[in-house]
Structure 1
Amino acid sequence: MLEALKALELPAGKGFIWIAAEAGVARALKQYVLGELGHPGAWMKAAGYWTAGQSDAADKALD
């Protein structure tokens, strides 16, 4: 998913980014959007709705 995000051409201007995925994937995508793209954190929501290898586990905070 990270490679797909890197290949994505985002439109110009302000926009809200919403990420929902496995916790580790969501965290990596969030770090890329904030760090590499410089997108403001206030304009993004990232949540890990499940954790690979763990039953009944989620990380919706993703600090």
Structure 2
Amino acid sequence: MKKKTHDRYLKAKYHEEDLIQVNTTAKSISISQSDDTGGSQKIFLTFEAVEELYNEMKNHNK
């Protein structure tokens, strides 16, 4: 069985770690960050949303 997510931990400047999970089946990305209270925040983005954000950043940096 092929793994459906690819996980990557990133060291962050202002908090301990970010976890980025890429779900190739659902074509989505989730980003988890720990907050100051010991809990965590999670953000979900579709591949389409990531592409739109990328294009916005490219246009902004021209």
Tell me the TM-score normalized by structure 2.
Answer: 0.26
Q: Which of the pair is proportionally richer in helix?
A: 1
Q: Which of the pair is proportionally richer in strand?
A: 2
